[in-house]
Chain A
Amino acid sequence: MNDPIIWIILFPLFGSIAVALSGAWLRKACHPLAVASMLGSTWAAVETLIQAIASPSHEVSYLLGGWSLQLFPRGVGIEFRADLLGALIALVVTGVGLIVALYSRLPVERDTPGREPVYYALFLLQLCGLSGIALTGDAFNLYVLIEVAALTGYGLIAMGSNRAAAATFNYLILGTIGASFYLLGVGYLYLKTGTLNMIGIREAIEAEGASPSVSTQVAFVLVLLGVMIKMAFFPFHAWLPKAYVHSPTTTSCLLAPLVTKVMIYVMIRMVLTVFGVEFSFEYATWTEFMPWLTVIAIVAAAGMALAQREIKRMLAYLIVAEVGYMTGGIWICNYYGLIGSIFHVVSDACMTLCLFLGAGIILEKCKTTRFDGLRGLFIKMPLTMTGFFIGGFSIIGLPPTCGFFSKWYLITGGMVSQRWEYVITLMLSTMVMVVLFFRLIERMHLAVDESGRNLGDGHGDLGLSKDRKRFDEAPPSMLIPLLIAASVVLLVGIYNQDLVDQIERMLQPFNLPTGVHYR
């Protein structure tokens, strides 16, 4: 137990084996086992973060297989290396995993009756893959972990209805293309640098200096293209809405907050640690057009979210828009933009979790998530809807939720870099989010139907029968995780300065520009 970093992935790994074995004769044990292994994993992530903050170099390293750094150069074996960024993302992943595991008992019983052992085994393997992505220091190992997370993700989605299986097929094709492009890019990096260790690759690229080789540039394009397909960046987003809408409740609660966010982390990791700030922002010409691409992505996704008449589908398009926010924060290539981007990864994971947990409860209680079935929900389930709308307000960016502070840094970064197109789009999409969520609130408080007809007789009458107005709150096993998630959204917002301090500390060694423009 001296190295908590490795226990972050060992807990879910052994947990999934234990669940698969014990589930054969004791199906009731699956859920407690899953919760227990996620508890262990979260504990290990907290320990790792504490160790990383306390250590002088702000990183924790673990060499798999025990090869020694003294005898061999970097890159002979696989290294797990958690700097502050990696440890933070690992904590987010395991924390979200823990909350969803707590929440999952009822929905999993309903969605996949009789197959809980398989479901929880895949669930834990998914978390093993995602937290591994956050921790690994080896470019090829990252590919393997991406595929571990992707394959278990396909399984988790396809365990829903037949419709979900059809949606998974598209996801599988696109996901494989994305991961293969990444693999190809890693091949070029290996060809050029002779190592797979991330630090080793950066040292070799920095040694190339001001005239980077063609191989490095090809690798840069391939790796980032692959990562962008995996993170559902706008032209490549087609797989995401269908896969998340038709998947079982627990699956969408787990995948929606984590998968895209972890891939954003991979992009940040590639830009900062693997290719290095100089190469990514100065020699590659991506900084010219990427902010414009994110502008298109945000506008398109926000527009599509406006067109939806169903909560889960609307949330799925919101994720695509948020991916645009974070990618833009990276490519305005500015100190504040990167702080905003990393902060937004954390806060977006919390608030998307909040929203999807809420949507899951609505689906459970009302049997529909269409907008016209929502009337009077605030009377029926006040606590659930409060939790849901704390997430919603965070997406809009109302203080003191965490979404406000991360968006603040993103906009500051855009202004400092003078990328006005990005700043204006952020403001504009904030307006769209306001419309999206206040339209929902309106549906719940006013007695107006889809075509604008008034249903009640005014004076706050919702035109509902008595039994639909009765207080009928969600079961505590689902409600409590939602309220925990909502309070995390508020707490991250209130203690934002501590988080930003840590992010600043992790960005210090990279010498990012605080001024106008990198070029």
Chain B
Amino acid sequence: MIGMFEEGSIFTQLFVERLNYFIYVVLLMIGLWAMIAKNNLIKKLIGMSVFQTAIILFYVSIAVKEGATIPIYLPEHDPHGSHQPVGAEGSLEIADQSLPMQPPAPSAYTNPLPHVLMLTAIVVGVATLGLALSLCLRIYRAYGTIEEDELLAKLEEVDARTGSSMRSGRRRRAFAKKPKEGRAR
């Protein structure tokens, strides 16, 4: 425990230097667990949202840069003056006073791309969630449950009735009389 906060120890690496990765992995695992292990379909979908949000957190956190500014090219930065603010009367004097500023160096900008990518990922996530919820609605209307084990039991019943289950075929063969001739089961 003595060297806990020293540079390079596991504790520092996890909770100080790479806290964002730590959080995103924990969220990811929570989401994955909920998607696979939960019995209720809506809880599965909540897990899916957590899972997708964890990835969004990952992308956004890798774009963070301390003390940086948004990458927007302001009108004052334009050396040609086409966008220079013009005074209230449009007089030359005021326009002359606002000389072009130096834009910040490129290294002072944050990278906008991960955020833009995540906008797309959010849209995809919303579409998936909407579709999944409408599927849940349909499943509930048809089978009267959104608990997975009850649903599976009902589906098994339906399959046995329509004869499209692979298990029903086996069952029927087990009860059928032993074939007399060996060929062509």
Chain A positions near chain B (C-beta within 8 angstroms): 140, 143-144, 147, 151, 154-155, 158, 162-163, 165-166, 168-169, 172-173, 176-177, 180, 183-184, 187, 190-191, 196, 245-246, 307-310, 313, 370, 442, 446, 448, 450-454
Are B176 and A451 in contact, with the CB atoms below 8 A? yes
Which of B163, B164, B170 has the most A CB atoms < 10 Å from its CB?
A: B164
Answer whether A163 and B181 are a contact pair too, CB < 8 Å, given A169-B139, A177-B32, A310-B164.
no
Are A163 and B183 in contact, with the CB atoms below 8 A? no
Give the chain A neighbours of B184 by CB distance below 8 A.
442, 446, 448, 452
Are A172 and B135 in contact, with the CB atoms below 8 A? yes
Are B177 and A451 in contact, with the CB atoms below 8 A? yes
Answer whether A180 and B52 are a contact pair too, CB < 8 Å, given A169-B139, A172-B131.
yes
Are A177 and B135 in contact, with the CB atoms below 8 A? no
Q: Which residue of B lies closest to A146 (CB)?
A: B124
Are A180 and B131 in contact, with the CB atoms below 8 A? no
* 10 further A-B pairs in the complex, CB-CB below 8 A; given A158-B138, A173-B35, A183-B55: A154-B131, A162-B143, A163-B158, A169-B139, A177-B51, A180-B55, A184-B58, A187-B62, A187-B114, A451-B176
Give the chain A neighbours of B160 by CB distance below 8 A.
none
Give the chain B neighbours of A448 by CB distance below 8 A.
183-184
B155 within 8 A of A: yes
Q: Which residue of B lies closest to A161 (CB)?
A: B142
Are A169 and B41 in contact, with the CB atoms below 8 A? yes
Partner of A184, one of B55, B131, B139, B179: B55
B185 within 8 A of A: yes
Which of A158, A162, A313, A451 has the most B CB atoms < 10 Å from its CB?
A: A451
Overall SS of chain A's interface = helix
Are B173 and A169 in contact, with the CB atoms below 8 A? no
B122-164 interface with A by 8 A CB criterion: 124, 127-128, 131-132, 135-136, 138-139, 142-143, 151, 155, 158-159, 163-164
Are B135 and A168 in contact, with the CB atoms below 8 A? yes
Give the chain A neighbours of B173 by CB distance below 8 A.
450-451
CA distance A101 to B41 in the complex (A): 34
Are B58 and A309 in contact, with the CB atoms below 8 A? no
Give the chain A neighbours of B28 by CB distance below 8 A.
184
Report the minimal beta-carbon distance from B51 to chain A, rounded to whole angstroms.
6
B166 within 8 A of A: yes
Task: Supply 10 A–B pairs (Cβ within 8 Å), ascending by A.
Answer: A158-B135, A173-B132, A177-B32, A187-B114, A308-B166, A309-B166, A310-B169, A450-B176, A451-B185, A453-B180
Give the chain B neighbours of A442 by CB distance below 8 A.
184
Are B135 and A151 in contact, with the CB atoms below 8 A? no
Are A144 and B120 in contact, with the CB atoms below 8 A? yes
Give the chain A neighbours of B51 by CB distance below 8 A.
176-177, 180
Are A151 and B62 in contact, with the CB atoms below 8 A? no
Partner of B139, one of A144, A166, A177: A166
Are A176 and B128 in contact, with the CB atoms below 8 A? yes
CA distance A166 to B142 in the complex (A): 9
Give the chain B neighbours of A172 by CB distance below 8 A.
128, 131-132, 135
Answer whether A452 and B166 are a contact pair too, CB < 8 Å, given A187-B55, A190-B114.
no
Overall SS of chain B's interface = helix
CA distance A217 to B164 in the complex (A): 43
Are B136 and A177 in contact, with the CB atoms below 8 A? no
Which of A168, A173, A245 has the most B CB atoms < 10 Å from its CB?
A: A173
Give the chain B neighbours of A143 by CB distance below 8 A.
121
Give the chain B neighbours of A191 by CB distance below 8 A.
62
Are A169 and B136 in contact, with the CB atoms below 8 A? yes
Give the chain B neighbours of A187 by CB distance below 8 A.
55, 58-59, 62, 114
Answer whether A452 and B164 are a contact pair too, CB < 8 Å, given A177-B35, A187-B59.
no
Give the chain B neighbours of A196 by CB distance below 8 A.
113
Give the chain A neighbours of B170 by CB distance below 8 A.
307
CA distance A235 to B135 in the complex (A): 25
Report the minimal beta-carbon distance from A5 to chain B, rounded to whole angstroms.
22
Give the chain A neighbours of B136 by CB distance below 8 A.
169
Partner of B132, one of A147, A162, A169: A169
Give the chain B neighbours of A450 by CB distance below 8 A.
172-173, 176, 185
CA distance A448 to B181 in the complex (A): 10
Q: Which residue of B lies closest to A368 (CB)?
A: B163
Are B185 and A452 in contact, with the CB atoms below 8 A? yes
CA distance A151 to B158 in the complex (A): 26
CA distance A308 to B166 in the complex (A): 6
Give the chain B neighbours of A184 by CB distance below 8 A.
28, 55, 58
Give the chain A neighbours of B172 by CB distance below 8 A.
450
Report the minimal beta-carbon distance from A443 to chain B, rounded to whole angstroms.
8
B64 within 8 A of A: no
CA distance A162 to B124 in the complex (A): 25
CA distance A471 to B15 in the complex (A): 75
CA distance A347 to B169 in the complex (A): 32
Q: Which residue of B lies closest to A307 (CB)?
A: B166
Partner of B124, one of A147, A163, A169, A313: A147
Give the chain A neighbours of B164 by CB distance below 8 A.
245-246, 310, 313
Give the chain A neighbours of B180 by CB distance below 8 A.
452-453
B117 within 8 A of A: yes
Are A176 and B135 in contact, with the CB atoms below 8 A? no
Give the chain B neighbours of A144 by CB distance below 8 A.
120, 124
